[in-house]
Amino acid sequence: MFLAAVAHPRCEPFSLPSFDFHRKCIFDGKVGLWPFVEKYVAKRNSKNRQKGTILTVNREVVNRDVYPQLLIDCVIPAIKMKWPARDRHNTIYIQQDNAKPHVFPDDEAVVSAGQSDGRDIRLRFQPPNSPDCNVLDLGYFRAIRSLQYEQEIYGTDDLIAAFSTMSVKKLNHVFPSLPSVLECIIGEFEDNGYKLPHTAIGKLERQGKLPLSITFDSTVYHSAVAFLALSTRT
Residue spans of the domains in the chain: they are 2-35+63-167, 176-234
Which residues make Cβ contacts (< 8 Å) with residue 173, sequence separation at least 6? 139, 201, 202, 205
Mean pLDDT computed over every residue of the chain: 80
Cβ–Cβ < 8 Å for 163, 33: yes
Q: For the segment 66-119, what is each residue's pLDDT rounded down to a tens digit?
A: 899 999 999 999 999 988 888 888 999 999 988 888 889 999 999 999 999 889
What is the reported pLDDT for 15?
45
The pLDDT confidence band at residue 162, using thresholds 50, 70 and 90, is: confident
The CA-atom distances, in angstroms, between 16 and each of 1, 139, 209 are 32, 20, 12
Point out the least confidently predicted range of 38-52, 109-123, 151-165: 151-165
What is the residue-wise DSSP string for 161-225?
HHHHHS-HHHHHHHTTHHHHHHHHHHHTTT----PPPP--HHHHHHTT---SS-PPPHHHHHHHH
Question: Is residue 1 scored above 70 in pLDDT?
Answer: yes
From the list 145, 139, 147, 144, the residue with the least C-alpha distance to 196 is: 139
Average pLDDT of the residues in 151-174: 76
pLDDT of residue 14: 40
The pLDDT confidence band at residue 175, using thresholds 50, 70 and 90, is: confident
